[in-house]
Amino acid sequence: MSAVSEIAAGKLQVSGELTFNTVLAIRLQGEALILKGPESIEVDFSGVSNSGSPAVSLMMCWLRVASESNRKICYTGMPDILQGIIDVSGLAEHLSLVNGQK
């Protein structure tokens, strides 16, 4: 099952598969958590088992919501396939990736 949950104040965990069928519900759940969260939010993707372009779209949507609500968001635990898509698409400079990532 795919999910996003708040595991600590300002820290979200994404788990499961991020596909075209699952990403909308996760996006909406995450947006609600971002809007009620602190000024700085970390989103951990290490629990994601399958991802692709829907995950990148999700990250960009959350970045927009965070920016519009004067919050900072960073992403950690990128699966290799997701990191590759981010690198190839040229989005690494727009997304705040941590743990040695761009």
Give the residue ranges of the chain where pLDDT is below 50: 100-102
Q: Say what the pLDDT of residue 92 is.
A: 84
What residues make up the domain containing 23? 3-89
Q: Say what the pLDDT of residue 102 is.
A: 40
Q: Say what the pLDDT of residue 97 is.
A: 81
Of 81, 71, 20, nearest to 43 (Cα)? 71
Domain-located, residue 78? yes
Domain-located, residue 97? no
Q: Say what the pLDDT of residue 99 is.
A: 60
Domains of the chain: total: 1
Instruction: Look up the CATH number of the domain holding residue 49.
Output: 3.30.750.24
Domain-located, residue 95? no
Domain-located, residue 75? yes
User: 63: left (phi > 0), else alpha (psi -120 to 50), else beta?
Assistant: alpha
